[in-house]
Chains A and B, each alone.
Chain A
Amino acid sequence: MINLTINGKAIQAPEGSTILEAARANGIYIPTLCYDKAVEIYGACGLCVVEAEGIPKLLRSCSAKCTEGMVVNTESERVVRSRKVAMELLMSAHDGDCVAPCQLNCPARTDCQGYVGLIANGEYDSALKLIKNKISLPASIGRVCPHPCEKACRRKNVEEPINIAQLKAFAADMDLNSESYVPECKPATGKKVAIIGGGPAGLTAAFYLTIMGHEVTVYDMMEKMGGMLRYGIPQYRLPKEVLDKEIAIIEKTGVKMVNNVKLGVDFTIESLKAENDAVIVAVGAWKSSSMRTPGEELEGVYGGIDFLRAVIKGNAPDIGQRVVICGGGNTAMDACRTAVRLGAKEVYVVYRRTRNEMPADKLEIDEAEEEGVIYKFLTNPLSFNGEGGKVKSITLQIMELGEPDASGRRRPVPVEGKTEEIAVDSVILAIGQKLVTDDVKELELNDRGNIIADPDFFTTNIEGVFAIGDATNRGASIAIEAIGEADRCVKAVDAYLNGEPLDTRIPYISKRDEATIDYSDRQKEARKNPRVLPADVRNKNFEEVSLGFTEEEAKAEASRCLECGCREYYKCKLLNVAQRYDIDPSRFKGEMPQKYTRDENAFIERNTAKCILCGLCVRSCREVMDIHAIGLMGRGFKTDVSPAFSLPLDQTNCNNCGLCVSLCPTGALTEKSTLRKQVPLNESYTEEFIDIDGQRASVMVSRYNGIVLRVIPNDEISRNCGLSREELIAKVQ
């Protein structure tokens, strides 16, 4: 035995062992990407470098042998610096997306590609479970979300984005219409959390904290839970029966729900604090913003969300025949379409820019127009004019578009002296909503009048009190923003309750440069939208406009997904090492060595754009299998792994043993799963034994929610058996 010291720890290693072997045997981590026991030592990645006292050069621990009395440091500053630069260089030449852009652009980081892919495969239960990791109200959110995911969807570069939101609603409806999935809760922690506000933020926080084992009570001032989803969104967009069913599932997990109680009246933050270990303030923004236009106080001028709430509660005001809605967002759309449904004959939407600049969802804008709404673009209210205290007309300033402003949109500027007057019976101001500050007197507010909450930890000025959603920081936003905050807040509260630190750093992931992606090989296929009620039917009632996807439509639409995110994300060794070091590959941004070219056979898919040239595939194919189906080509930066004679893989003598795939540290070589549409899933592999011609052979089996996704040979017998994957899969099932 040899005595040596690694990181100050005295250890013994057998004669002839390398520093890497000695370190691993003693639980000391050294990163490697090109080392594997199955093949000869190679030394390409250089990540396994360590420093040894008295040796000026960094040693590659995969090959350097232990010597008596050696003093090794595996984490010295020089070592870490070397690994960091190596990873930065490597990632600067790794042309792949770890995670799909749709997921990254979702404020809640919902695994869109995952559930879309599962829907494409008809795996609706798995899709719903994946969604429920992030969204507790998917049927509701699927109907109302302005879907930032779709804005990022790369399919838009082919023709149009995937209809992700409607697919979510589809999977959620399937679940609601059968035995609904109720997640299991972890054992009770004995910690109590009070949540003020039962909107999307409060309910999300309640759902996940309860699953974590905490005892959660939600307090809400309205008769029913749901917040703005219930009281701000019209029935024709989100039937309240759907919301009720989803809230019932949340309740089933054990969330206590208390309605008709109001902060400042029935309880205070302090009183809740006294009875709970943590309090989350998620009270929302329930006051309509003012336009500061003369005449706003006149009878017949309504706030947008006030108007919508009144209609939903069955107290619709008499808006008359001629109604003007001010604003261009989704609340304006909700208001104008509700006004149409209430029987108004002339419904105008006044917006100071043009259709292109409208923040509302395009589909909403189109559907409102179909229902008879008249847009008055490039107009801005100058005054609301009344008679006897009741609004009678509105004077509009005519606008034109000038120079772009900070947001990049062209700024509307008044056309001097040009105005227009419209006679009206009522006016609805849908230009924003605010927190009712009197409700949260104890909390510190910012100059916008919103609660100050830490952007990472969601803490407020009172210890143990957290705040999320429309009431905080930048104010009201879309529901999925509030849900995303709630999701992160849950982690912060859980860490707080357990007295543990919380790592809020955003781990590094690889992202492709959008500008370099070529879509020319993609076949165009139009986006599918669910069928809707005809405009002349729906504008007379509050029936849900969308009829939702049929199963067939959903599968077809989901199949359009381009599969941007990497299938190997959950087991990528490259990413694992990259995330351990504080890397910034953009320092070395430059040309990518390889373009993605499709090459696959029945089981294996190659993506050389992700290859890091560790050589494990080439070496294992040569040294272990003696097959030589792939080799290294070219020189320098353009060095590439290529099948023999640059043929497609299926024209080589590859026998699909899968060894190269199992050794590939990243997504350059992947084994296709049994799913028709490939999906990145957090699979779990287990070793199982099968009978091949009377011999016991080892295979690695991946299962996901009970589905066998892959069976990969794991010893000499299974690698050389010549059985196809289908035959191997049949043996494990």
Chain B
Amino acid sequence: MRIVIGQGSCGIAAGAEKVRKALLNTDINADSISITGCIGMCYLEPIVDIYDDNGDLTRLVKVSENDASAIAEYIHTGDKEKISALMVSDEDKEFLSKQTRIALRNCGIINPEKIEAYIEKGGYTALKSCLTEKTPEDVIEIIKTSGLAGRGGAGFPTWFKWNAARQSAGDDKYLICNADEGDPGAFMDRAVIESDPHNLIEGMLIGAYAIGAKHAVVYVRAEYPLAIRRLTNAIAQAKEQGIIGENIFGTDFSCDFMIKAGAGAFVCGEETALIESLEGHRGMPRLKPPFPAQSGFWRKPSNINNVETFANVAWIINNGGEAFAAMGTEGSKGTKVFAVTGKVKRSGLVEIPMGKTLRDVIFDIGGGMKTDKPFKAVQMGGPSGGCIPADLIDTVIDYKALGATGAIMGSGGMVVMDESTCMVGMAKFFLDFTAKESCGKCIHCRIGTKRMLEMLERITKGEGKEGDIELLVELCYSIKDGALCGLGQTAPNPVLTTIKYFRDEYEAHINDKKCPAGECSDLIEYSIDADKCRGCTLCARNCPVNAITGSVKQPHVINTDKCIKCGKCYSVCKFGAVIKA
């Protein structure tokens, strides 16, 4: 019997550590209690997996520390009645069973703090076979066959970058992993590092061997302390085993490993800004050319890939490029991890083969909408991406097909929205993020995004004027054309796609001074329907500014001058008497 508690950041945030301590306080044998990383079903955390001696799994979800004694009783008696309320439903099981996991293959299964667990799953065999049986060119060829493309967002063929770095003159080269996962709503990289750090290390070492790098660097955001801790631990273990350092596996390949914690700038996900930051400078993009493959970290040839990209590498070496390429579409091979969040019923990490549709992810796996409001749109690729409206839900997951909608694959963030989301407000939210995260270097990004944001703020306040949409569009294209790096060039995407698909919402804000979704507080007004109001006083008691008056059992009235439009009355009224218009 093994009891495994999901202890990714998500699980810990939901209370997994309290559950673990509570279980340790029971009479369950402490040695049988261990941890694993992120299982991917964030909406069901904390999760406790119980493997019986046959290896069969009983999964308990939304466990609290108060459930510890019931679990202990089950362990002792085998009486499933004790834990029936905690057992994962068959429906929820589909969330994982319908996925195809390569990058996440060990996540939520193995103990991320023990190298033995990784090795037991066949870990480091790919590296060994590369170092002992394959030339770097062979490795690059396998990756080429696999069709693996950069999972960080740009989707550039991985083999091509590796080859360019390999071809670059000089034998002092760097292999860098970009773990500065900054998109709001994306957390697959964190999950990989927290849950399967050795998979990343192995992928990176294979990459280092392929390009001829003696130094591997992981640039990870400081906001991921658990990831940093587990990765640091994993590196130490790998060093101990001779997997990192001099003459790895007895070959003449040597590679050291370093972690650099980023200081919290979104732009440092841009590869040249990342390099500047690595060197100790302010994180600002460099002009390309020269590309990092020619002149990167310390002006040496450098190759930068994203965490998820590296997480696929060992599997590809073990299973062959063809196996990876067998999944997906003509232009997009393998699987992709999506971080599904928002108004969707089941949120978490979803890894599926390319070629599936958005409907598969949001409805089939994600279970559709959380509320009774219909699906409206999904924001793909975070602040650099765009929204895809409901009528394009059958769009295939493929770099090209997603690009054609105006959105991007991006790093795989998927924010699902229902009809209660204002699309102008949504664009404003993401633009606010990019405007603040602009490094300030180029004019278009620094000032352009700010001016766009100001226009959106005006529009959502009901101060929009005719011509604003056209001016926004003009500015969007100017910024795309003129900005120095990807941050600026993609910043207009949320605005462009929402104008493309939801222009009527912009027009309603500008012309009618109305927010159709009822989200922009400056454009809505709350009132009480006297016929429906029973005078229960609940709204008046909840109003934080005492804007509601009325006697018991008499219809209440909202003083609109005092009202701060917090919506509290609207949400507490049991009779639907509060009108939002």
Interface residues of A (CB under 8 A from B): 41-46, 49, 57-58, 60, 62-65, 78, 81-82, 85-86, 89-90, 92-93, 587-588, 590-591, 593, 612-613, 615, 631-632, 634-639
| Cβ contacts under 8 Å, A612 to chain B | 443
**Among the listed B436, B450, B481, which residue makes an inter-chain contact with A82, where contact means beta carbons less than 8 Å apart?**
B481
Q: Decide: A635 and B439 in contact? CB cutoff 8 A.
A: yes
Q: How far is the CA of A593 from the CA of B435 in the complex (A)?
A: 13
- Structural contact, A81 and B478, CB atoms closer than 8 A: yes
Q: Which residues on the B side are within 8 Å of A93 (C-beta)? A: 447, 450
User: Among A43, A590, A613, which residue has its beta carbon within 8 angstroms of that of B484?
Assistant: A43
Q: Which residues of B contact A639 (CB under 8 A)?
A: 438-441, 446
Judge whether A63 and B440 touch: CB under 8 Å.
no
Interface presence of B471 (CB below 8 A)? yes
Q: Contact at B287–A63, with CB atoms within 8 Å?
A: yes
B443 touches A90 (CB 8 A): yes
* B442 in contact with A637 (CB, 8 Å): no
Tell me if B435 and A637 are in contact (CB < 8 A): yes
Q: In the complex, are the beta carbons of A635 and B481 less than 8 A apart?
A: no
Q: Decide if B454 touches A78 in the complex (CB within 8 Å).
A: no
B447 near A635: Cβ-Cβ < 8 Å: no
B444 neighbours in A (Cβ, 8 Å): 46, 85-86, 89
Are B484 and A46 touching (Cβ within 8 A)? yes
Main SS class of interface, B: helix
**Nearest CB in chain B: distance from A542 CB, A:** 59
The answer to the question of B289 belonging to the interface, with a C-beta cut-off of 8 Å to chain A, is yes
CA distance A58 to B438 in the complex (A): 20
**CB-CB under 8 A for A635 and B482, given A85-B475, A89-B447, A591-B454:** no
Q: How far is the CB of A185 from chain B (nearest CB, A)?
A: 46
Q: How many whole Å from A81's CB to the nearest CB in chain B?
A: 7
What B residues does A44 contact at CB under 8 A?
Answer: 441-443, 484
In the complex, chain B residues whose CB is within 8 Å of the CB of A637 = 435, 438, 440, 446-447, 449-450
Cβ–Cβ contact B446 & A636, under 8 A = yes
Tell me the bound Cα distance from A42 to B437 in angstroms. 19
Instruction: Name the residue of chain B whose CB is nearest to the CB of A45.
Output: B443
A86 to chain B: closest residue by CB:
B443
Chain A positions within 8 Å of B435 at CB level? 636-637
Output the nearest chain B residue to A65 by Cβ-Cβ distance.
Answer: B289
In the bound assembly, the distance between CA atoms of A635 and B449 in angstroms comes to 13
Q: Are B451 and A615 in contact (CB under 8 A)?
A: no
Chain A residues near B454 (CB-CB < 8 A): 590-591
User: What is the size, in residues, of chain B's interface with A at 8 Å between Cβ atoms?
Assistant: 31
Task: State the Cβ distance, A673 to closest chain B Cβ, in Å.
Answer: 30
User: Given known contacts A587-B471, A637-B446, A639-B446, is B482 in contact with A615 (CB within 8 Å)?
Assistant: no
How far, in Å, is B472 (CB) from chain A's closest CB?
11
* Complex Cα gap A340–B475 (Å): 66
Write out the residue numbers on chain A whose beta carbons fall within 8 Å of the beta carbon of B482.
46, 49, 58, 82, 85-86
Q: Which residues of chain B are near A591, meaning CB under 8 Å?
A: 450, 454
Q: How many residue pairs at the A-B interface have CB separations less than 8 Å?
A: 106
* CB nearest to B489 among chain A residues: A57
Q: Hey, what's the 0/1 contact readout for B473-498 against A, CB within 8 Å counting as 1?
A: 01100100111100000000000000
Contact of B442 among A45, A631, A634 (CB under 8 A): A45
> How far apart are the CA atoms of A264 and B363 in the complex, in Å?
94
Residues of A within 8 A of B449 (CB): 636-637
Q: Which of B533-568 contact A (CB under 8 A)?
A: none
B residues less than 8 Å from A81 (CB atoms) = 478
Contact A89 B471 (CB under 8 A): no
B282–A588 CB distance below 8 A: no
| CA distance in complex: A154, B282 (Å) | 40
Which residue in chain B gives the minimum CB-CB distance to A49? B482
What are 15 A-to-B residue pairs whose CB atoms are below 8 Å? A43-B441, A44-B443, A46-B444, A57-B481, A81-B478, A82-B481, A85-B444, A591-B454, A613-B441, A632-B282, A635-B265, A636-B440, A637-B440, A637-B446, A637-B447
Tell yes or no: B448 within 8 A of A by CB: yes
Residues in A neighbouring B474, C-beta threshold 8 A: 85
Is A634 in contact with B440, judged by CB distance below 8 angstroms?
yes
Cβ contact within 8 Å between A636 and B438: yes
List B contacts of A43 (CB < 8 A).
286-287, 441-442, 484
Check A631–B437 contact: CB distance below 8 A.
no
Residue of A nearest to B285 (CB): A43
B481→A92 contact, CB < 8 A: no
Which B-chain residue is minimally distant from A639 (CB atoms)?
Answer: B440
CB distance from B428 to the nearest CB of A (A): 14
The CA of A468 and the CA of B439, in the complex, are separated in Å by 54
Inter-subunit contact B478/A85 (CB<8 Å)? yes
Give the contacting residue for A92; candidates B287, B442, B451, B484; CB below 8 A: B451
CB-defined contacts of A58 to chain B, threshold 8 Å:
481-482
Q: Which residue of B lies closest to A79 (CB)?
A: B481
| A33–chain B nearest beta-carbon distance, Å | 9
Question: Which residues of the other chain, B, contact A85 by a CB distance below 8 angstroms?
Answer: 444, 448, 474-475, 478, 482
List B contacts of A588 (CB < 8 A).
447, 451, 475
Q: Is the CB of A41 within 8 A of B287?
A: yes
Contact mask B417-445 → A, CB, 8 Å, 1/0?
00000000000000000011111111110
What chain A residues lie within 8 Å of B265 (beta carbons)?
635
Asked whether A613 and B289 contact (CB < 8 A) given A43-B484, A92-B447, the answer is no
**A90 adjacent to B447 (CB under 8 Å):** yes
Distance from A664 Cβ to chain B, minimum over Cβ atoms (Å): 16
Q: Report how far A49 CA is from B478 CA in the complex, Å.
A: 12
Q: How far is the CA of A64 from the CA of B290 in the complex (A)?
A: 9
A636/B442 in contact, CB under 8 A: no
A613 to chain B: which residues have CB within 8 Å? 440-441, 446
User: Which of chain B's residues has its CB closest to A63's CB?
Assistant: B287
Once the chains are docked, how many angstroms separate the CA of A641 from the CA of B442? 14
8 Å CB contact of B440 from A42, A49, A65, A635: A635
CB nearest to A94 among chain B residues: B447
Contacts of B484 in A (CB 8 A): 43-44, 46, 60
Inside 8 A of A634's CB, which chain B residues have their CB?
440
Q: With A and B bound together, what is the CA distance between A43 and B285 in angstroms?
A: 10
- Bound-state CA distance A57–B482 (Å) is 9
- If A43-B442, A44-B441, A636-B446 are given as contacts, then 5 extra A-B residue pairs at C-beta distance below 8 Å, sorted by A number, are A43-B286, A46-B444, A85-B448, A85-B482, A90-B443
Report A-chain residues with C-beta under 8 Å of the C-beta of B443.
Answer: 44-46, 86, 89-90, 612
Chain A residues within 8 Å of B289, by CB = 63-65
CB distance from B448 to the nearest CB of A (A): 5
Chain B: minimal CB distance from A160 (Å): 36
Rounded to whole angstroms, the CA-CA distance of A602 and B446 in the bound complex is 32
By beta carbon, the residue of chain B nearest A613 is B440
Hey, which chain B residues are within 8 Å of A63, CB to CB? 287, 289
CA of A591 to CA of B450, assembled, Å: 9
For the complex of A and B, 5 pairs with smallest distance between CB atoms: A639-B440, A43-B287, A637-B450, A85-B478, A89-B447
Chain B residue nearest in CB terms to A590: B454
Contacts of B282 in A (CB 8 A): 631-632
Question: Which residues of the other chain, B, contact A635 by a CB distance below 8 angstroms?
Answer: 265, 436-440
Query: Which of A613, A634, A637 is the most central at the interface, judged by chain B CB atoms within 10 Å of its CB?
Result: A637
A618 — nearest CB in chain B belongs to which residue? B282
Closest chain B CB from A651 CB (angstroms):
21
A587 to B448, CA, bound (A): 12
A46 to B480, CA, bound (A): 12
- With A44-B441, A46-B484 as given contacts, are A636 and B450 in contact (CB-CB < 8 Å)? yes
